[in-house]
Amino acid sequence: MKKILVIVVGLVILVSLNTQAQKGKEIILGVGGAFTTVWIINQSFYGEPEVDYAPKIGYAGSLNLGYNFTESISVITELQYSLQGQKYDGDQKIGGTEYKALRDIDLRYLNIPLFFKYAFGSGGTKFRFMAGPQVGILLGANQDYTRDGKKYSSDLAAFPSQLNLEGESFQPGASDITERYEKTDFSLVIDIGADVHLSDLLYISGGIRGHYGLMEINAVPYQIKNLDGEYTASKNLWGGIYVGINYKLDVQGYSQRSF
């Protein structure tokens, strides 16, 4: 993952330096945000009975940096704070007792995508397609785990503590669960939308964005088999609506162009 980060940063630096010799090319500076529906594919309940999936809403906010090679071809990267995770809501039977269980997992990532963008169209609106890899750095993970409306604790759970695969004791219902997840994630991201120009250099972008994780997100000690004696890798998935505002910085400093 460190090598990927070095490559991303290196590409951005090379693109920026290259602008000094590329007349008419533009650097893109911007901010953006997204409202998303987030999921974790394949549950991990550490050997306890699993609970039905429930919808969960996430969000993201980003600082954007890009470079237009031509009017149609660009490369764009982001520093993006993203709230991801999963919610579970349903019945759970433990030790002969049935509970109404609610488990809400928050995963906070610093995502760094590298988009290759193709835009087409005429006039003030151009349609766009963006796709590329993304590195995610885990900032933290928390959960809110209740049974019958009460926080998961020893008086409610038949087995309040368990052993992970390294023989260490842990509380399945603990609030801070950062150690249970891999520190980095790698994924593919696709964005389909349009850029609406307010002027020659200022434009609003909007689109539908989807993210699919390619890597196992559970740390090795917590890849615990389910009640059927099986284990399947868990992966991040989210999709939603992205909106941003961007400014094209004319690297040649054309004084004749108006804002």
Q: Is residue 255 part of a domain?
A: no
**Under 8 Å between Cβ of 153 and 160:** yes
Other CB atoms within a 10 A radius of the CB of residue 196 amount to 13
- Phi, psi at residue 78, to the nearest 5°? -140, 150
Q: Is residue 71 part of a domain?
A: yes
Q: Which pLDDT value is given to residue 252?
A: 57
- Phi, psi at residue 18, to the nearest 5°? -65, -25
Q: How confident is the model at residue 195 (pLDDT cuts 50, 70, 90)?
A: very high
The yes-or-no verdict on residue 84 having pLDDT over 60 is: yes
Distance of alpha carbon 78 from the chain centroid: 12
The yes-or-no verdict on residue 18 having pLDDT over 70 is: no
Closest CA to 40 of 207, 222, 169: 222
**Under 8 Å between Cβ of 235 and 214:** yes
Q: Is residue 256 part of a domain?
A: no
Q: Which pLDDT value is given to residue 8?
A: 46
Q: Is residue 110 part of a domain?
A: yes
d(CA 127, CA 29) in angstroms, rounded, equals 19
Q: Is residue 131 part of a domain?
A: yes
Closest CA to 180 of 116, 106, 259: 106
Mean of pLDDT values over 91-116: 94
Number of domains in the chain: 1
Q: Which amino acid is at 138?
A: L
Q: Which pLDDT value is given to residue 12?
A: 45
Q: Is residue 221 part of a domain?
A: yes
**Under 8 Å between Cβ of 210 and 190:** yes
Residues 90-114 as b/e (b if ≥16 CB within 10 A, e otherwise) read eebeeeeeebebbbbbbbbbebbbb
Q: Which pLDDT value is given to residue 5?
A: 47
Q: Which pLDDT value is given to residue 94?
A: 82
The yes-or-no verdict on residue 23 having pLDDT over 50 is: no
Q: Is residue 258 part of a domain?
A: no
Q: Which residues contact 16 (CB under 8 A, 6 or more apart)?
A: 27, 67
Q: Is residue 245 part of a domain?
A: yes
Mean pLDDT lowest for which of 54-68, 83-97, 107-121, 155-169? 155-169
State the CATH number of the domain containing residue 174.
Answer: 2.40.160.20
Q: Which pLDDT value is given to residue 16?
A: 45
Output 24 or 109, whichever has higher pLDDT: 109
Q: How confident is the model at residue 158 (pLDDT cuts 50, 70, 90)?
A: low
**Under 8 Å between Cβ of 18 and 251:** no
Integer CA distances (angstroms), 174 to 23, 79, 102, 169, 220, in order: 57, 30, 14, 12, 18
Boundaries of domain holding 124:
2-250
Mean pLDDT of the chain: 88
